[in-house]
Structure 1
């Protein structure tokens, strides 16, 4: 009992010190950047918070978070502080989980702690009015729970794990992987059948209920019963990126339902004169096709939406516009992929895989997308007096310019060390717990790779967990190698 209380006291002290560090970091951040950084997505989140779910373009979780913080104050510093604290709570839970189950040296513990709590990327990301840092914190909790379930399946933990899955789904669509991954992992865990028969249905039922709830909320807001009103847009974007760049003769005899849309698509290359810089990378091209007003998807959506929609809120109008054509875009994209698989492979998949290996830093090196102008939603919610913000005199964000190269190098080191680790059975025996966790990490990275390449923009801020795993696993495997050498035992 005395030892337990002592450990509890040490851990409480550790938590307080960690949150003090987080607080200090935020104040340093605000000294450099007096105002938050706003993205295109930021205004949808703020509009959803103001209207309580009026556009349904993005998952509602982050807007809910903004509204909850707004019950106390609309001060921007408070919101940023709360989302960094939420991240910190998830990171601490993950850190304690690794500490509990893995045999880590003091150096590796310190290295992981620095990655989690003194990481300039995570701190800088906190300044965005966006879901990224909150989602990263929730993901750390989700993976930590899964790690604990790997060693012992507990019904209470399974219920808590299900709740975290729903919270992750509410914040970002990328989390659709999480219930699939969790169910697949629980199936292969060495746990009693009874626990599996209870745990898996709980997750399935909860996810199904959540999807139905969001679909109902979407129908109530914009008149379309859909869970995700942008999935067809994303798929069409991916295929059109390949289809419009490929040197082929476009098919003439399309199914009648696709011909109007295809007329827009065939005119698309003509609109690119003077805009070729947009296609420097697949990511930039994808943003263009999805969002720019002169892209074929945007033009078709505007021309085929009822004219009376223009009188409503622009964000709700965009939501209805996207939902109105989403199913058509999905069917059109599937048709093109089936008929032009080689083009899809050569002009989208392979370039996107290359993009994944060295992801674009995107907005990380651009404060407020390099403008001092903000939209009305930010002015209304945060109570700003002007529609412009103070731009910082110094620009430390430019330090992120080469973080894509760092991601590539860390990924290569991770792959080489994992191969070496499995080639040396004596390393596996050093820490049996890590030998169980590592396949879980590899499985997650592989599934995330497939999702990002096939269905999401490949940008660095979406891959920070991957990079964390690269560094962490590399440090743990290096520790095992060093321990072997220190004992003067050959690596057999």
Structure 2
């Protein structure tokens, strides 16, 4: 039997009519239910972060603008129409994660037919993986975005295997929605180019598959700019990104000589505030590190929060979001100006530091239970959850969370090294000849995702463990697949000729 060949039954029959697969699915469902019951015994309350209040307020008011993408708030608004139970919200988020993960698992088993390492090794990982229940227990967008990401990757594999018009539409809509949940998805259409262009779609279908998510994303950007302008008077898409650019630039300012002038006139006031602030920061016992996250933009004594306070005092009729939007263009202009002026210092003190974090990300909120210390507006919590305003004390098992989560930064390093090593072995031992063209395209897809995810993470976003979970899943899954292929005997020429498609890269 040819390794990684496609079984003949349909996908439904493959899962439900095959005794082994139906047992694996039944066991996964039973264990998932038991895992969530046990988890909620140890961690009965949902956890909050500093972002939770904004998501909650936006959902309750069903607003079309926010500091964060509104897609998760829309999901929360829909959930709130049916339930006010925080246990139910955690269960729904966990169910979505498990469903998307096993959709990926069974799709890979169906399309590529692995027999050992992936089929059983990856299955065990999904069963015992503690990241999913912990992520599901947070009132933030991570669980939803990860579910969408896993489903999106799986749909791309189906694009390679069996492209249909319905799949084209489903992929485009899902990708468009993923962008509304987190802006990390902005590079996803570039990754999708690989399987779409190399699929069996007709030329017009390929064009439609490429354009549909782009049109949806552009439409969302235009819609958001308009709604922000209506509320704040500033036509801007993401206020947060402008603040983030200035924050990123300020890391290098701790290390370089800085005078109080020498900037364009429109930036003079901002630069003067930065100069005095950085002068004070340089006197601290230690430098502010990239691992401290978005430190400068959240520091109440920092220049950005100072500009926000000045705006709010001068515009009593505006809310804080309007202030963020009004300050954002100036933050963006100043940050970009300093980066252009000191490109090598920015590379040395920010980009290289962020690149190290990519391999060893901070635990951040996953390091412990945060709800007791998060200062949320009580009326919002009480309005969203039944008994939400009652105290939710830290449990006696909080150390268990930090212990389990501390294992994953090292796992990311190990997964990268193993994936690189197995890719090299795969090429050296002629793994390309042992499998199908579609698998080689799928492997290329994985490498493109890793490269673009690295670039986006290092240049444009803070790096923490919860943002890299999809990367862990893909690296582990593909490493197991590559190991299985590389260790298999070379297929004979007669067997190769019976395969329905050429067994070569074919790109």
2: CA distance, partners of 1:207 / 1:398: 37
Question: Which of 71, 74, 79 pairs up with 2:81?
Answer: 71
| Contact 2:65/2:224 (<8 A) preserved | no
Change (3 A) 1:308 1:203: closer
1:80 is matched with which residue?
Answer: 90
1: CA distance, partners of 2:285 / 2:173: 45
2:305 is matched with which residue?
Answer: 298
1:480 is matched with which residue?
Answer: 485
After superposition, what is the alpha-carbon deviation per residue over 1:124-176, rounded to whole angstroms, capped at 9, x for unaligned?
Answer: 11111111011101111111111211234322111100110122012111111
Following superposition, the deviation at residue 450 of structure 1 comes to 0.2
Paired residues, number: 477
1:323 is matched with which residue?
Answer: 325
Compare 333-342 and 174-183 and name the one that shifted more: 174-183
Change (3 A) 1:23 1:275: farther
After superposition, what is the alpha-carbon deviation per residue over 1:353-374, rounded to whole angstroms, capped at 9, x for unaligned?
Answer: 1111211111112112674875
1:288 is matched with which residue?
Answer: 295
Following superposition, the deviation at residue 429 of structure 1 comes to 1.8
| Contact 1:215/1:227 (<8 A) preserved | yes
Compare 214-223 and 32-41 and name the one that shifted more: 214-223
1:445 is matched with which residue?
Answer: 450
2:401 is matched with which residue?
Answer: 397
1: CA distance, partners of 2:392 / 2:372: 11
3-state DSSP class of the match of 1:463? helix
1: CA distance, partners of 2:425 / 2:23: 38
Question: Which of 436, 439, 459 pairs up with 2:464?
Answer: 459
After superposition, what is the alpha-carbon deviation per residue over 1:415-448, rounded to whole angstroms, capped at 9, x for unaligned?
Answer: 22212222222x2222224222111000011001
1:239 is matched with which residue?
Answer: 249
Question: Which of 149, 162, 183 pairs up with 1:139?
Answer: 149
Following superposition, the deviation at residue 460 of structure 1 comes to 1.0
Question: Which of 34, 57, 69 pairs up with 1:47?
Answer: 57
| Contact 1:36/1:127 (<8 A) preserved | yes
3-state DSSP class of the match of 1:96? helix
1:383 is matched with which residue?
Answer: 386
Change (3 A) 1:86 1:276: farther
1:252 is matched with which residue?
Answer: 261
Change (3 A) 1:278 1:91: farther
Following superposition, the deviation at residue 55 of structure 1 comes to 5.7
| Contact 2:48/2:374 (<8 A) preserved | no
Change (3 A) 1:277 1:461: farther
1:429 is matched with which residue?
Answer: 433
1: CA distance, partners of 2:66 / 2:285: 32
| Contact 1:374/1:387 (<8 A) preserved | no
2:352 is matched with which residue?
Answer: 350
Q: Does 1:181 align with 2:186?
A: no
3-state DSSP class of the match of 2:139? coil
TM-score by length of 2: 0.87
1: CA distance, partners of 2:338 / 2:68: 26
Looking at secondary structure, tell me which structure has more helix per residue: 1
1:490 is matched with which residue?
Answer: none
1: CA distance, partners of 2:175 / 2:184: 11
1: CA distance, partners of 2:29 / 2:223: 35
Following superposition, the deviation at residue 117 of structure 1 comes to 4.1
Following superposition, the deviation at residue 414 of structure 1 comes to 1.5
3-state DSSP class of the match of 1:209? helix
Following superposition, the deviation at residue 451 of structure 1 comes to 0.2
Compare 152-161 and 338-347 and name the one that shifted more: 152-161
After superposition, what is the alpha-carbon deviation per residue over 1:56-92, rounded to whole angstroms, capped at 9, x for unaligned?
Answer: 1111111111121111111101111111112222223
Question: Which of 373, 395, 418 pairs up with 1:413?
Answer: 418
Following superposition, the deviation at residue 348 of structure 1 comes to 0.8
2: CA distance, partners of 1:339 / 1:277: 25
Q: Does 1:214 align with 2:217?
A: no
Structure 1 runs not aligned, ≥5 long: 488-492
Change (3 A) 1:123 1:304: same
Please give the root-mean-square deviation of Cα atoms over the aligned residues, in Å. 2.7
3-state DSSP class of the match of 2:263? coil
